Amino acid sequence: MHFLDQAKIFCRSGSGGPGAVSFRREKFIEYGGPDGGNGGKGGDIIFEAVAGLNTLIDFRYTQHFRAPRGSGGSGSNRTGGGGDDLVIRVPVGTQVLSEDKEEVLLDFTKVGQREIFLRGGDGGRGNASYKTSTNRTPRQHGTGWPCEEAWVWLRLKLLADAGLVGLPNAGKSTFINTVTNAQAKVGEYAFTTTRPQLGVVRHKQREFVIADIPGLIEGAADGAGIGDRFLGHIERCRVLLHLVDANDDDVTESYRIVRAELENYGGGLVDKPHVVALNKIDTLDDELIEALSAELAEASGTDVIPLSGASGIGVDWVLDQLIEAVGPEAGAAVEDDGEEDRVEWSPL
Protein backbone atom coordinates (compact mmCIF):
# COMPACT_ATOMS: atom_id res chain seq x y z
CA MET A 1 0.00 0.00 0.00
CA HIS A 2 1.38 3.40 -0.97
CA PHE A 3 1.17 6.29 1.44
CA LEU A 4 -0.19 9.59 0.15
CA ASP A 5 -1.02 12.48 2.45
CA GLN A 6 -1.98 15.17 -0.10
CA ALA A 7 -4.31 15.10 -3.07
CA LYS A 8 -6.11 17.65 -5.22
CA ILE A 9 -9.66 16.84 -6.32
CA PHE A 10 -12.55 18.49 -8.15
CA CYS A 11 -16.05 18.42 -6.67
CA ARG A 12 -19.36 19.43 -8.24
CA SER A 13 -22.81 19.11 -6.71
CA GLY A 14 -25.88 18.37 -8.80
CA SER A 15 -27.96 21.06 -10.49
CA GLY A 16 -31.66 21.29 -9.77
CA GLY A 17 -34.05 19.79 -12.31
CA PRO A 18 -36.30 22.06 -14.41
CA GLY A 19 -39.95 22.57 -13.60
CA ALA A 20 -42.57 21.32 -16.04
CA VAL A 21 -45.08 23.20 -18.15
CA SER A 22 -48.24 21.09 -18.34
CA PHE A 23 -52.04 21.50 -18.41
CA ARG A 24 -54.74 19.16 -17.25
CA ARG A 25 -56.79 17.47 -19.96
CA GLU A 26 -59.47 15.46 -18.20
CA LYS A 27 -62.92 14.35 -19.33
CA PHE A 28 -65.84 16.30 -17.90
CA ILE A 29 -63.52 19.00 -16.50
CA GLU A 30 -64.16 22.11 -18.53
CA TYR A 31 -61.24 24.18 -17.31
CA GLY A 32 -58.23 21.99 -16.64
CA GLY A 33 -55.60 24.49 -15.64
CA PRO A 34 -51.85 24.12 -15.13
CA ASP A 35 -50.44 21.05 -13.40
CA GLY A 36 -46.69 21.16 -14.11
CA GLY A 37 -44.64 19.83 -11.16
CA ASN A 38 -41.42 21.18 -9.70
CA GLY A 39 -37.99 19.84 -10.59
CA GLY A 40 -35.99 17.64 -8.22
CA LYS A 41 -33.08 18.82 -6.06
CA GLY A 42 -29.55 18.04 -7.15
CA GLY A 43 -27.30 15.78 -5.09
CA ASP A 44 -25.00 17.15 -2.38
CA ILE A 45 -21.26 16.54 -2.08
CA ILE A 46 -20.68 15.08 1.38
CA PHE A 47 -17.40 14.19 3.10
CA GLU A 48 -17.39 11.43 5.72
CA ALA A 49 -14.55 10.25 7.95
CA VAL A 50 -14.37 6.46 8.16
CA ALA A 51 -12.24 3.97 10.05
CA GLY A 52 -9.78 1.67 8.29
CA LEU A 53 -8.17 4.27 6.02
CA ASN A 54 -4.84 5.99 6.69
CA THR A 55 -3.84 7.21 3.23
CA LEU A 56 -5.26 9.32 0.39
CA ILE A 57 -3.85 7.05 -2.31
CA ASP A 58 -7.31 6.42 -3.81
CA PHE A 59 -7.59 10.08 -4.78
CA ARG A 60 -4.58 9.75 -7.04
CA TYR A 61 -6.69 7.62 -9.38
CA THR A 62 -10.12 9.21 -8.83
CA GLN A 63 -9.91 12.99 -8.84
CA HIS A 64 -13.28 14.17 -10.16
CA PHE A 65 -16.46 13.81 -8.12
CA ARG A 66 -19.79 14.92 -9.58
CA ALA A 67 -23.15 14.40 -7.92
CA PRO A 68 -26.12 13.68 -10.23
CA ARG A 69 -28.58 16.46 -11.05
CA GLY A 70 -32.24 16.43 -10.17
CA SER A 71 -34.85 15.14 -12.60
CA GLY A 72 -37.35 17.43 -14.30
CA GLY A 73 -40.91 17.78 -13.07
CA SER A 74 -43.86 16.41 -15.02
CA GLY A 75 -47.60 16.73 -15.38
CA SER A 76 -50.19 15.87 -12.75
CA ASN A 77 -48.16 17.98 -10.30
CA ARG A 78 -45.44 15.35 -10.10
CA THR A 79 -42.15 16.56 -8.64
CA GLY A 80 -38.97 15.28 -10.27
CA GLY A 81 -36.73 12.86 -8.43
CA GLY A 82 -33.83 14.29 -6.47
CA GLY A 83 -30.25 13.43 -7.36
CA ASP A 84 -28.46 11.04 -5.02
CA ASP A 85 -25.92 12.57 -2.64
CA LEU A 86 -22.28 11.74 -3.40
CA VAL A 87 -20.41 10.67 -0.26
CA ILE A 88 -16.62 10.96 -0.38
CA ARG A 89 -15.03 8.78 2.29
CA VAL A 90 -11.77 10.04 3.76
CA PRO A 91 -9.45 8.89 6.57
CA VAL A 92 -9.83 10.34 10.05
CA GLY A 93 -7.49 13.32 10.34
CA THR A 94 -8.18 14.65 6.83
CA GLN A 95 -8.47 18.38 6.23
CA VAL A 96 -10.20 19.92 3.21
CA LEU A 97 -8.31 23.02 2.09
CA SER A 98 -9.11 25.74 -0.42
CA GLU A 99 -7.38 25.58 -3.79
CA ASP A 100 -4.71 28.04 -2.66
CA LYS A 101 -4.21 26.06 0.60
CA GLU A 102 -4.80 29.22 2.63
CA GLU A 103 -8.07 28.21 4.31
CA VAL A 104 -9.16 25.06 6.12
CA LEU A 105 -12.72 24.38 4.96
CA LEU A 106 -13.37 21.11 6.83
CA ASP A 107 -11.45 19.18 9.46
CA PHE A 108 -12.29 15.55 10.30
CA THR A 109 -11.07 14.44 13.71
CA LYS A 110 -13.36 11.52 14.61
CA VAL A 111 -14.86 8.46 12.98
CA GLY A 112 -18.33 9.02 11.57
CA GLN A 113 -17.99 12.78 11.23
CA ARG A 114 -20.06 13.81 8.21
CA GLU A 115 -20.19 17.26 6.62
CA ILE A 116 -22.02 18.67 3.61
CA PHE A 117 -19.41 20.44 1.50
CA LEU A 118 -21.33 21.51 -1.63
CA ARG A 119 -25.11 21.73 -1.63
CA GLY A 120 -27.08 20.59 -4.66
CA GLY A 121 -29.23 23.11 -6.50
CA ASP A 122 -32.95 23.29 -5.75
CA GLY A 123 -35.39 22.22 -8.43
CA GLY A 124 -37.11 24.77 -10.63
CA ARG A 125 -40.76 25.64 -10.16
CA GLY A 126 -43.37 24.08 -12.41
CA ASN A 127 -46.00 26.24 -14.08
CA ALA A 128 -48.65 25.14 -11.54
CA SER A 129 -46.86 27.17 -8.87
CA TYR A 130 -47.14 30.34 -10.98
CA LYS A 131 -50.94 30.21 -11.16
CA THR A 132 -52.67 33.29 -9.69
CA SER A 133 -56.11 34.82 -9.86
CA THR A 134 -54.98 37.00 -12.73
CA ASN A 135 -52.68 34.49 -14.42
CA ARG A 136 -54.80 31.39 -14.87
CA THR A 137 -52.70 29.67 -17.54
CA PRO A 138 -49.03 30.43 -16.80
CA ARG A 139 -46.46 29.02 -19.15
CA GLN A 140 -43.35 30.09 -17.32
CA HIS A 141 -41.28 27.67 -15.32
CA GLY A 142 -37.99 27.56 -13.41
CA THR A 143 -34.94 25.93 -14.97
CA GLY A 144 -33.50 24.80 -11.63
CA TRP A 145 -30.80 26.31 -9.45
CA PRO A 146 -27.23 25.80 -10.65
CA CYS A 147 -24.70 23.50 -8.99
CA GLU A 148 -21.68 24.43 -6.89
CA GLU A 149 -18.18 23.35 -7.81
CA ALA A 150 -14.68 23.73 -6.41
CA TRP A 151 -11.12 22.45 -6.65
CA VAL A 152 -9.87 21.54 -3.18
CA TRP A 153 -6.83 19.98 -1.58
CA LEU A 154 -7.11 17.05 0.81
CA ARG A 155 -4.38 16.95 3.45
CA LEU A 156 -4.03 14.06 5.87
CA LYS A 157 -2.73 14.57 9.39
CA LEU A 158 -2.50 11.21 11.09
CA LEU A 159 -4.03 11.05 14.56
CA ALA A 160 -1.60 9.79 17.18
CA ASP A 161 -1.04 10.35 20.88
CA ALA A 162 2.76 10.39 20.75
CA GLY A 163 5.18 11.28 17.96
CA LEU A 164 8.78 10.16 17.34
CA VAL A 165 11.30 12.76 16.16
CA GLY A 166 15.04 12.73 15.67
CA LEU A 167 17.81 12.77 13.09
CA PRO A 168 17.95 10.03 10.46
CA ASN A 169 19.26 6.75 11.90
CA ALA A 170 18.47 7.78 15.48
CA GLY A 171 16.72 4.43 16.02
CA LYS A 172 13.10 5.57 15.70
CA SER A 173 12.03 2.64 13.51
CA THR A 174 13.72 0.13 15.81
CA PHE A 175 11.93 1.65 18.79
CA ILE A 176 8.47 1.57 17.19
CA ASN A 177 9.08 -2.03 16.09
CA THR A 178 9.98 -2.94 19.68
CA VAL A 179 6.88 -1.44 21.29
CA THR A 180 4.30 -2.08 18.52
CA ASN A 181 3.56 -4.38 15.56
CA ALA A 182 4.31 -1.64 13.03
CA GLN A 183 7.11 -3.60 11.26
CA ALA A 184 8.86 -0.45 10.04
CA LYS A 185 11.86 -0.87 7.77
CA VAL A 186 15.24 -0.77 9.56
CA GLY A 187 18.59 -0.31 7.83
CA GLU A 188 22.12 0.92 8.43
CA TYR A 189 21.66 4.01 6.31
CA ALA A 190 19.78 7.29 6.55
CA PHE A 191 16.13 7.74 5.58
CA THR A 192 15.06 4.12 5.79
CA THR A 193 11.70 5.59 6.83
CA THR A 194 10.21 7.44 3.87
CA ARG A 195 6.62 7.68 5.07
CA PRO A 196 4.93 7.95 8.47
CA GLN A 197 4.29 4.77 10.43
CA LEU A 198 1.58 4.21 13.02
CA GLY A 199 1.53 1.65 15.80
CA VAL A 200 -0.50 0.90 18.91
CA VAL A 201 1.46 0.59 22.16
CA ARG A 202 0.05 -1.67 24.87
CA HIS A 203 1.71 -1.04 28.21
CA LYS A 204 0.47 -1.57 31.77
CA GLN A 205 -3.13 -2.18 30.67
CA ARG A 206 -3.12 1.03 28.66
CA GLU A 207 -3.10 1.66 24.93
CA PHE A 208 -1.98 4.67 22.96
CA VAL A 209 -1.02 5.39 19.36
CA ILE A 210 2.52 6.37 18.40
CA ALA A 211 3.65 7.83 15.06
CA ASP A 212 7.10 7.59 13.48
CA ILE A 213 7.99 10.13 10.79
CA PRO A 214 11.05 10.35 8.50
CA GLY A 215 14.14 11.83 10.13
CA LEU A 216 14.90 15.53 10.07
CA ILE A 217 18.22 17.06 9.05
CA GLU A 218 19.45 20.61 9.24
CA GLY A 219 17.66 22.69 6.64
CA ALA A 220 14.62 20.42 6.48
CA ALA A 221 12.37 23.49 6.68
CA ASP A 222 13.98 24.64 3.42
CA GLY A 223 13.55 21.26 1.75
CA ALA A 224 16.78 19.49 2.69
CA GLY A 225 16.49 15.70 2.84
CA ILE A 226 12.85 14.67 2.76
CA GLY A 227 11.98 18.09 4.15
CA ASP A 228 9.46 18.86 6.86
CA ARG A 229 6.22 17.99 5.03
CA PHE A 230 5.58 15.01 7.31
CA LEU A 231 5.72 17.10 10.47
CA GLY A 232 2.02 17.82 9.98
CA HIS A 233 1.34 14.24 11.08
CA ILE A 234 2.54 14.94 14.62
CA GLU A 235 0.84 18.33 15.05
CA ARG A 236 -2.00 16.66 16.96
CA CYS A 237 0.22 14.51 19.17
CA ARG A 238 0.05 15.22 22.88
CA VAL A 239 3.74 14.45 23.49
CA LEU A 240 6.90 14.05 21.40
CA LEU A 241 9.60 11.47 22.02
CA HIS A 242 12.94 12.90 20.89
CA LEU A 243 15.53 10.19 20.24
CA VAL A 244 19.21 11.16 20.11
CA ASP A 245 21.80 8.69 18.83
CA ALA A 246 24.44 8.14 21.53
CA ASN A 247 27.00 7.45 18.77
CA ASP A 248 26.72 10.94 17.25
CA ASP A 249 29.84 13.10 17.43
CA ASP A 250 27.96 15.78 19.38
CA VAL A 251 24.68 14.73 21.01
CA THR A 252 23.80 18.29 22.00
CA GLU A 253 24.21 19.46 18.41
CA SER A 254 21.99 16.60 17.23
CA TYR A 255 19.33 17.68 19.72
CA ARG A 256 19.64 21.35 18.72
CA ILE A 257 19.23 20.62 14.99
CA VAL A 258 15.92 18.82 15.43
CA ARG A 259 14.55 21.39 17.88
CA ALA A 260 15.47 24.18 15.45
CA GLU A 261 13.61 22.47 12.62
CA LEU A 262 10.53 22.01 14.83
CA GLU A 263 10.62 25.70 15.68
CA ASN A 264 11.02 26.72 12.04
CA TYR A 265 8.05 24.57 11.06
CA GLY A 266 5.74 26.12 13.67
CA GLY A 267 2.38 24.56 14.42
CA GLY A 268 3.15 24.62 18.14
CA LEU A 269 5.45 21.57 17.89
CA VAL A 270 8.28 23.15 19.86
CA ASP A 271 5.88 23.93 22.71
CA LYS A 272 4.58 20.37 23.12
CA PRO A 273 5.66 18.26 26.08
CA HIS A 274 8.61 16.15 25.05
CA VAL A 275 10.56 13.21 26.41
CA VAL A 276 14.27 13.06 25.56
CA ALA A 277 16.00 9.68 25.29
CA LEU A 278 19.64 8.86 24.57
CA ASN A 279 19.31 5.87 22.26
CA LYS A 280 21.69 3.00 21.36
CA ILE A 281 23.38 2.94 24.77
CA ASP A 282 24.04 -0.80 24.37
CA THR A 283 27.13 0.21 22.35
CA LEU A 284 28.65 2.36 25.16
CA ASP A 285 30.06 1.84 28.66
CA ASP A 286 28.33 3.15 31.79
CA GLU A 287 30.72 6.04 32.34
CA LEU A 288 30.24 7.43 28.84
CA ILE A 289 26.46 6.96 29.05
CA GLU A 290 26.36 9.00 32.25
CA ALA A 291 28.50 11.76 30.76
CA LEU A 292 26.49 12.03 27.56
CA SER A 293 23.18 11.96 29.45
CA ALA A 294 24.32 14.81 31.69
CA GLU A 295 25.49 16.79 28.69
CA LEU A 296 22.20 16.26 26.86
CA ALA A 297 20.14 17.05 29.97
CA GLU A 298 21.89 20.40 30.31
CA ALA A 299 21.20 21.25 26.66
CA SER A 300 17.54 20.16 26.72
CA GLY A 301 16.62 21.37 30.19
CA THR A 302 14.90 18.08 31.00
CA ASP A 303 15.76 14.64 32.33
CA VAL A 304 17.28 12.28 29.78
CA ILE A 305 16.37 8.58 29.67
CA PRO A 306 19.14 6.16 28.64
CA LEU A 307 17.57 3.84 26.07
CA SER A 308 18.31 0.95 23.77
CA GLY A 309 15.47 0.12 21.44
CA ALA A 310 17.31 -2.93 20.15
CA SER A 311 17.98 -4.57 23.54
CA GLY A 312 14.97 -3.16 25.41
CA ILE A 313 16.97 -1.21 28.02
CA GLY A 314 14.95 1.75 29.27
CA VAL A 315 11.92 1.01 27.06
CA ASP A 316 9.51 0.59 29.98
CA TRP A 317 10.81 3.81 31.52
CA VAL A 318 10.14 5.71 28.28
CA LEU A 319 6.64 4.22 27.92
CA ASP A 320 5.83 5.20 31.51
CA GLN A 321 6.75 8.79 30.72
CA LEU A 322 4.70 8.78 27.52
CA ILE A 323 1.61 7.36 29.23
CA GLU A 324 1.86 10.03 31.91
CA ALA A 325 2.09 12.74 29.25
CA VAL A 326 -0.73 11.56 26.98
CA GLY A 327 -3.21 11.33 29.86
CA PRO A 328 -6.13 9.00 30.55
CA GLU A 329 -7.93 9.41 27.20
CA ALA A 330 -5.19 8.08 24.98
CA GLY A 331 -5.65 5.52 22.24
CA ALA A 332 -8.44 4.51 19.89
CA ALA A 333 -7.13 6.62 17.01
CA VAL A 334 -6.44 3.51 14.89
CA GLU A 335 -6.75 -0.21 15.24
CA ASP A 336 -3.58 -2.26 14.91
CA ASP A 337 -4.03 -5.94 14.15
CA GLY A 338 -0.38 -6.61 13.33
CA GLU A 339 -1.09 -6.93 9.61
CA GLU A 340 -0.30 -4.56 6.79
CA ASP A 341 -2.95 -1.91 6.33
CA ARG A 342 -5.20 -2.20 3.31
CA VAL A 343 -7.17 0.47 1.52
CA GLU A 344 -10.57 -0.37 0.11
CA TRP A 345 -12.37 2.08 -2.15
CA SER A 346 -16.11 1.76 -2.53
CA PRO A 347 -17.51 3.31 -5.71
CA LEU A 348 -19.94 6.04 -4.74
| Per-residue model confidence as pLDDT tens digits over 93-104 | 899 999 999 999
Does the pLDDT of residue 1 top 70, yes or no? no
- 271 & 172 share domain: yes
C-alpha–C-alpha distance, residues 141 and 124, integer Å: 7
Q: Of 23-27, 159-163, 223-227, 270-274, where does mean pLDDT reach its minimum?
A: 223-227
- 19 & 135 share domain: yes
Q: Using the 3D structure, point to which of 158, 181, 211 is the last residue of a domain.
A: 158
* pTM assigned to the model: 0.74
- 193 & 261 share domain: yes
Binding site residues, as ranges? 166-173, 193, 212-215, 279-282, 308-310
Q: Using the 3D structure, point to which of 158, 186, 210 is the last residue of a domain.
A: 158
- 141 & 282 share domain: no
- 196 & 264 share domain: yes
pLDDT in tens, 291-347: 999 999 999 888 999 998 888 888 999 999 999 888 776 554 444 444 433 333 333
- 259 & 287 share domain: yes
pLDDT in tens, 195-238: 777 888 888 888 888 888 887 777 766 666 566 667 887 888 88
Q: Using the 3D structure, point to which of 141, 158, 175 is the last residue of a domain.
A: 158
pLDDT in tens, 238-293: 899 999 998 888 999 999 999 998 888 888 888 889 999 999 998 888 899 999 99
- 124 & 206 share domain: no
- 26 & 82 share domain: yes
Average pLDDT over residues 163-180: 87
Is residue 267 a part of any domain in this protein?
A: yes
Is residue 308 a part of any domain in this protein?
A: yes
Is residue 206 a part of any domain in this protein?
A: yes
pLDDT, position 338: 41
> What is the domain extent for residue 260?
162-326
pLDDT, position 199: 82
Is residue 311 a part of any domain in this protein?
A: yes
Is residue 30 a part of any domain in this protein?
A: yes
Is residue 344 a part of any domain in this protein?
A: no
- 107 & 220 share domain: no
pLDDT, position 209: 87
Average pLDDT over residues 76-97: 94
Is residue 348 a part of any domain in this protein?
A: no
CATH code where residue 23 lies: 2.70.210.12
- 225 & 300 share domain: yes
What's the chain's average pLDDT? 85
Binding site residues for GTP, as ranges? 166-173, 212-215, 279-282, 308-310
Which phi and psi (to 5°) does residue 89 adopt?
-90, 130
- 253 & 314 share domain: yes
Cβ contact 12:65 at 8 Å = yes
Is residue 343 a part of any domain in this protein?
A: no
CATH code where residue 319 lies: 3.40.50.300
- 154 & 206 share domain: no
Binding site residues for Mg(2+), as ranges? 173, 193
* More confident site: 183 or 284: 284
As for how many domains the chain has, the answer is 2
pLDDT, position 336: 40
